Amino acid sequence: MTDNKNIIEMNNVGIRYGQGPEILSDIKLSLPQGSFYFLTGQSGAGKTSLLSLMYLAQKPSRGQISVFNHNLNFTNRDQLASLRRRIGVVFQDFRLLDHLSAFDNVALPLRVSGMDEKEIKKRVTELLTWVELEEHMFDKTSILSGGEKQRVAIARSVINRPDLLLADEPTGNVDNIIAGKLMKLFVELNKLGTTVVIATHSDKIINDFKYPRLHLQNRGLHIYYPTDTSMFGGLNV
């Protein structure tokens, strides 16, 4: 285990589903602590797949991954759970527990880590109010609108101030004003030290916020920095 300031390191990583071809090959990547990246690429390029490696929902079909300096090849189930508690995830399809209220969904990460219910109530109420969902706090998420669900999903991902935040299209279902507000939330979290990766199709967001971009193309990963004038002038890593 090398002790460095990279939150995530990948080497020679490949992903394939079942017996299919690799959808990502030879991925090499280091995410320094406190960095902020966009993740881009055409639909089907593998953004969700790459993120799922980072939030430890699947193993790569080859290669090495370290998360918080833990080599995943040498990490047991309980350690995995502890690592996952330091990661906040906004899923592309939200993955809320629809039979539960917005409150219970957002409270989930705190309950899983055994926090006191009084403290949970305080924090969840505060955050749901901030994302303008106080009216729907005790509604089942199944009856919420797409944008409302998305805000619940985001609230759930940040409620425990994760060290790493991975968001898959987190602003796809909300209007520009709310999108801006949510982006500011991510930026604020980043300032407090959270490493952030956001998969997005939105050119507006990418242009408004000058962060480097991980771009998936032809099964490979390319990194572009905001100073680059041309998308095709980027570095190959």
Ligand X SMILES: Nc1ncnc2c1ncn2[C@@H]1O[C@H](COP(=O)(O)OP(=O)(O)OP(=O)(O)O)[C@@H](O)[C@H]1O
Judge residue 118's burial from the number of C-beta atoms within 10 Å of its C-beta, 0-12 exposed, 13-18 middle, 19 or more buried: exposed
Other Cβ atoms closer than 10 A to 125: 15
The residue within the footprint of other proteins, chosen from 32, 44, 57, 184 (CB under 8 A), is 57
Smallest distance, ligand X to C-beta of residue 31, A: 18
Sheet holding 62-67, edge to edge: 22-32, 6-16, 62-67, 70-71
Residues 6+ apart with CB under 8 A from 172: 92, 150, 200, 201, 202
2 sits near ligand X (criterion: CB under 6 A): no
46 sits near ligand X (criterion: CB under 6 A): yes
139 sits near other proteins (criterion: CB under 8 A): yes
115 sits near other proteins (criterion: CB under 8 A): no
Residue 225 binding partner per list Mg ion, ligand X, other proteins, none, with a CB distance cut-off of 5 to 8 Å that depends on partner kind? none
Q: Which 3 state secondary structure label does DSSP give 132?
A: coil
- What are phi and psi for residue 174, nearest 5 degrees? -120, 160
Task: Kindly tell me which of 123 and 201 has the beta carbon lying closer to Mg ion.
Answer: 201
Binding pattern for the stretch 75-114 against Mg ion, x by CB under 5 A and - elsewhere: -----------------x----------------------
CA pair distance 75, 79, nearest whole angstrom: 6
Task: Kindly tell me which of 116 and 203 has the beta carbon lying closer to other proteins.
Answer: 116
Query: Which residues make up the interface to ligand X (CB under 6 A)?
Result: 17, 23, 41, 43-49, 92
